[in-house]
Chain A
Amino acid sequence: MKITGAEILWKSLIREGVDVVFGYPGGAIMPVYDVMLDYPVYHVLARHEQGAAHMADGYARASNKVGVALATSGPGATNLVTGIATAKMDSSPIVCITGQVASHLLGKDAFQEVDVTGITLPITKHNFLITRADEVSQVVQKAFHIARSGRPGPVVIDFCKNAQIEKIDFEIDQAPEKLSLPGYRTPKHAPELDLRKAAALIAKAEQPVILAGQGALMSKATEVLDLFATKTQTPVAMTLLGLGGLPSSHHLSLGMMGMHGEAYCNQAIQQADLLLAFGMRFDDRVTGNLRTYAPRARKIHVDIDPTEMGKNVDVDLTLMGDLKTVLEDLLPLIGGNDHEPWLSKIDEWKKETSERNIISWQDDGKLHAAQVIHALWEITAGDAIVATGVGQHQMWAAQYYPVEKPYRLITSGGAGTMGFGLPAAIGAWFACRNQEVWLVDGDGSFQMTQAELTTAFQEGANVKVAIINNGFLGMVRQWQEFFFDKRYASTRITGPDFVKLADAHGIPAQRITDPGNVSSAIEFARQTPGPVVLDFVVEMEESVFPMVPTGASLDEMIRRPLRTQPEQV
């Protein structure tokens, strides 16, 4: 039977297990939208293509499946770019399908023509241009395979309009077709000799630390990571995106490392004699000054991506492979250990940190962001999916909403994309509809993509929004305070009345200015179905501590002020 390229697209997407897509229609993608009505796929209409890309990303991160975004040619496609770059930096598997002008018009500057494969080349794992209907099935299958395998990442399919409407004889084969990808290989096992060398280094270590990154989540290695850490009694520090790799309540968890990591975590890394980097890439935000980074430590780097080996930090041993497989191969080769002196040393540091912790402060009648997020954590029993924007609130969420399980913290790490939170939360809700989903956002980040509140309303997305509203672009303000003599250039930001904004949608909302009302507001949001907006008007000029200034050593942190009595920051 003859069917169109657009129909083949939907058949191919359904074969990949797609049941929800996020997008925005337009001229060059209309044939795809037209036949969509005939297929069991739910379409979420974003208010901007960037939102659609972040939704697909949030969906992917919460479900560990591939998220799909759809857009038209030209501006539709270019609006996806920030979302694609965000997914690339955080290795998030999304497939973006863009309409394109008919292939005979390519290169002619036709209406809404943009060189999409050219523009997205450096920010995708791979991209495709489809000019004929008979390419569709293979390309979709390749795109999904590439997006989710190896080191995952975004893939763009640019789909010419003539190929969408071209009719060909086609019968979909439910079994995967044989893919011709001669240059695409995903390493699995590390060489045995390297495993033995690693085991020898691990056996000798007295002060080891595991650095777990997002690779632990992406390769589904969290259970074997727990086994490995427990068997060797090795404490585990996590990157922002690695949070959830080990439960935060685990006695070996050091929480988040890096610029805003807890002091004991960074101290442990600096004092370590062996660093086991598992699926992380030594980003500048986690190493501090590279010259003084973990000076005594031998370093073993396990990663699936060969370009990460030695890219930022010289390592003693590299194990290239899939983290889960490598750890499973490594487990039988290593003996148990208790590392008693090392763990008690870390416990001492932990005690000293908890004295400085803001959540142990007494109520001073003021609303502190950290306390709001801590209350949210307590009331939701730490079990919600939490999406964030980028900035102070993001770091506070990482610090004060410790996660127990993987795929629960949805946040833009590498790219640091403000405005990521709201659409990502909507995407996460579509992936996990029975989960409680919270957005912890800043007033600045929220305003970047607040149009998606309308999407949440239209979809009835059960996303609870907690705006940490300090009237500042707080992270930049904090840097201005510390490093630019408090010259607050363009960081004071006035928002709309967020309660009225919600009200304009018919979305229930509350403004909270009094610490006494935090819990009841959170309970109100939890008990109200559909989206709810809570506007927490917090102290304006609070900073995120601890903080490693750029260029400083990882253990040269600006610490939280040490005090038991509350006072004005």
Chain B
Amino acid sequence: MQQILFALVENQPGVLNRVASLFSRRKFNIESLNVGRTERSDISRMTIVCDNKTADASTVEANLYKLVNVIDVQDLTNQPSVVRDLALIKVKASQEQRSEIANLAAIFRAKIVDVAPESVVVEITGTEDKIESLIELLRPIGIEELVRTGQVAMMRGSSDGLRHIPGANGKQLDLSEK
């Protein structure tokens, strides 16, 4: 089963390396890992998609929690959340094929963002399923290049995701030593 977690980390050099090294050392199987800036310049946000066969979310959370630069970890799996992936798909397209591709893109609310004599680039945002479906339909036409961001996710409303380790993260318990 796919699990989605996010981690708030200090925006410092080497933090991504620490997380990646941890996953490789503990043999966690990562499907995608996305890092980007947040509303605060000193904090970055990582969205981690992994399989629960190698490690369940609480194990991943516990291990992330041990990294000094990781501020908070929340599990969004099966939580009311918005999950999105973005793909750019370069499709081989002769003049005649362009309208067919445009039609498909329209059905999926995707956009054609570049047109060249031999190809077009389709941009699609959505859930993983939706993107997979479009890719399957475009494949017979001829996909030349494909890139995806990996999933990013956010809880709906004002609630937090799950925190498995009591008091390990977040603000709900003050467990600081001093």
B66 proximity list for chain A (CB < 8 A) = 305-307
- Cα distance A310–B21 in the bound complex, in angstroms: 22
Q: B166 to A122, Cβ gap below 8 A? A: no
Task: Check B175 against A186 for contact (C-beta < 8 Å).
Answer: yes
Per-position 1/0 for B130-174, Cβ under 8 A of A: 000000000000000000000000000000000001111100000
B65 at the interface (CB under 8 A from A): yes
**Distance from A320 Cβ to chain B, minimum over Cβ atoms (Å):** 7
With beta carbons under 8 angstroms apart, the residue of A122, A185, A186, A307 that contacts B21 is A122
Q: Contact: A187 with B10, CB < 8 Å?
A: no
Known contacts A121-B21, A122-B25; A183 and B167 CB within 8 A of each other: no
Question: Which residues of chain A from 146 to 185 have a CB within 8 Å of any chain B CB?
Answer: 146, 149-150, 181-185
Q: Which residue in chain A gives the minimum CB-CB distance to B72?
A: A183
Q: Tell me, in angstroms, the Cα distance from A68 to B177 when the chains sit together.
A: 23
A146–B177 CA distance with the chains assembled, in angstroms: 11
Greatest chain B CB density within 10 A among A129, A184, A307 is at A307
Could you say which interface size class chain B belongs to?
A: 20 to 34
How many pairs of residues, A versus B, come closer than 8 Å at their CB atoms?
60
Q: Please tell me if B36 contacts chain A, counting CB pairs below 8 Å.
A: no
CA distance A129 to B18 in the complex (A): 14
**Chain A contacts for B59, CB-based, 8 A:** 307, 310-311
Tell yes or no: B69 within 8 A of A by CB. Answer: yes
- In the complex, A187→B166 CA distance in Å? 9
B43 nearest in chain A by CB position = A182
Q: How far is the CB of B109 from chain A (nearest CB, A)?
A: 38
A149, B165: Cβ atoms closer than 8 Å:
no
Bin chain A's interface residue count. Answer: 20 to 34
Central interface residue in B25, B62, B63, B69, by most chain A CB within 10 Å: B62
Contacts of B169 in A (CB 8 A): 185
Q: How far is the CA of A306 from the CA of B168 in the complex (A)?
A: 8
Task: Report if B71 contacts A (CB, 8 A).
Answer: yes
Q: Is A118 an interface residue (CB 8 A)?
A: yes
- For A188, list chain B residues within 8 Å (CB): 175, 177
Asked if A117 is at the interface (CB within 8 A of a chain B CB), the reply is yes
A130 close to B (CB within 8 Å): no
**Given contact pairs A306-B65, A306-B165, A183 touches B177 in the complex (Cβ within 8 A):** no
Q: Determine the chain A residues whose CB is within 8 A of the CB of B176 once the complex forms.
A: 185-186
Are B165's CB and A320's CB within 8 A? yes
| Interface contact B175-A189, CB-CB below 8 Å | yes
**Most interface-central of A117, A129, A146, A187 (chain B CB within 10 A):** A187
Taking a contact as CB atoms under 8 Å apart, the answer to whether B71 and A183 are in contact is yes
Check B68–A126 contact: CB distance below 8 A. Answer: yes
CA distance in complex: A503, B168 (Å): 56
**Interface residue ranges of B24-75 to A (CB < 8 Å):** 25, 59, 62-63, 65-72
Q: Is B124 an interface residue (CB 8 A)?
A: no
A185 to B14, CA, bound (A): 20
- Are B168 and A187 in touch, CB under 8 angstroms? yes
Q: Which residues of the partner chain A approach B175 to less than 8 Å between Cβ atoms?
A: 185-189
A309 within 8 A of B: yes
Cα separation A305 to B59 with both chains bound (whole Å) = 12
Can you spell out 19 A-B residue pairs with CB atoms less than 8 angstroms apart? A122-B21, A149-B177, A181-B68, A183-B72, A185-B167, A185-B168, A185-B175, A186-B176, A186-B177, A187-B168, A188-B177, A191-B167, A306-B65, A306-B165, A307-B59, A310-B59, A311-B59, A320-B166, A320-B167
Instruction: With A181-B68, A185-B175, A188-B175 given, name 8 new contacts (CB 8 A).
Output: A121-B18, A122-B21, A150-B177, A183-B69, A183-B71, A183-B72, A191-B166, A194-B166
Q: Which 6 A-B pairs have the closest CB atoms?
A: A306-B62, A183-B71, A186-B177, A307-B62, A126-B68, A306-B165
